[in-house]
Structure 1
């Protein structure tokens, strides 16, 4: 899937958050301005993802009045971790595997800065958004990895050594990083862990 040439790009459309999602976020005690920012950065389709974004970006001034025009020139990036639910890993095991995925993908990005340096810079300067999602099983993770590769998104696959809870070689976590819109093409239908 490629973008049209620059001269054919459509004009920017003003961002309009989904009011039903704003209501859900308000019920969690999240301000309207913070909700709008979060929905903007997470694709405007999931209150769960928006809430996670708010909680991960508390250090930013997220309660100031929101205008999508102020962010229109800043590409939004995120890193997602898809956890293999078929393995039924404990919370500690899952946390460790997601940690391996984060460090592994970050190393890949650092080692391949000629391709991913700009993405890494934007991601690190604008919140380092990280989202953990549920994957069905190893085949599902492989399918998502293949789809991410076709979009030229950097990935990292974690296969367990088999020392504790799961069999050696088990595909535990898939990490993907890139522009929010592209990552959403791959993982947009998944739910938060």
Structure 2
């Protein structure tokens, strides 16, 4: 009967080792895991806001495509500029909110304010192959970043 306990112990040790290696790979090490856990303890909600220009008369499909461009652009910038914040956003549900504005001036002002606050922005300009004039600003991505900071530059806008 002792050999059953011995092999059970070895099996548990192997499973624990594999689990720790997977966690290390996923979190980038114990220190990184501790940082991530610490962030969750701060209850910081992260989100990505997509500010859509409604004055252009884009179809729903066009808006969806432009929002996709903005989300991918924001993700790529966050990967380089704020990988820790990006990971927090990914691990907390990847919240995305679409808001609307009806002027190019306002979308530019929001982008300027966001940049001044150190937020990631992704300004999308259309190529002009379908519905929109070439080089038209269609969507602005702001974040991902803590919700309270993003709200300082986009909190006045209404949902799309």
TM-score by length of 2: 0.72
1:168 to 129, 134, 139: 134
* Structure 2 spans left out of the alignment, 5+ residues: 1-39
> Alignment RMSD, CA only?
1.1
The residue aligned with 1:31 is none
The residue aligned with 1:4 is none
Q: Which has the larger radius of gyration?
A: 2
Aligned pairs for 1:30-69 within 5 A: none
The residue aligned with 2:77 is 108
1:78 matched to 2:63? The reply is: no
Partner of 2:129: helix, strand, or coil?
coil
- Deviation of the 1:111 alpha carbon: 2.6
Off by >4 Å, runs of 4+ in structure 1: none
Whose helix fraction is larger, Structure 1's or Structure 2's?
2
Deviations 1:149-192 (A, max 9, x none): 11100000000000000100000000001110010001111111
- Deviation of the 1:80 alpha carbon: 0.4
Counterparts of 2:114 and 2:56, CA distance in 1: 22
- Deviation of the 1:72 alpha carbon: 5.3
Q: Number of residue pairs matched?
A: 120
1:185 to 142, 152, 157: 152
1:95 matched to 2:69? The reply is: no
Deviations 1:47-97 (A, max 9, x none): xxxxxxxxxxxxxxxxxxxxxxxx652321100000011101000000000
1:139 matched to 2:105? The reply is: yes
Deviations 1:82-125 (A, max 9, x none): 0011101000000000000011111111133xxx1111011001
Deviations 1:126-157 (A, max 9, x none): 11000000012111100000010111000000
The residue aligned with 1:121 is 87
Counterparts of 1:188 and 1:111, CA distance in 2: 26
TM-score by length of 1: 0.60
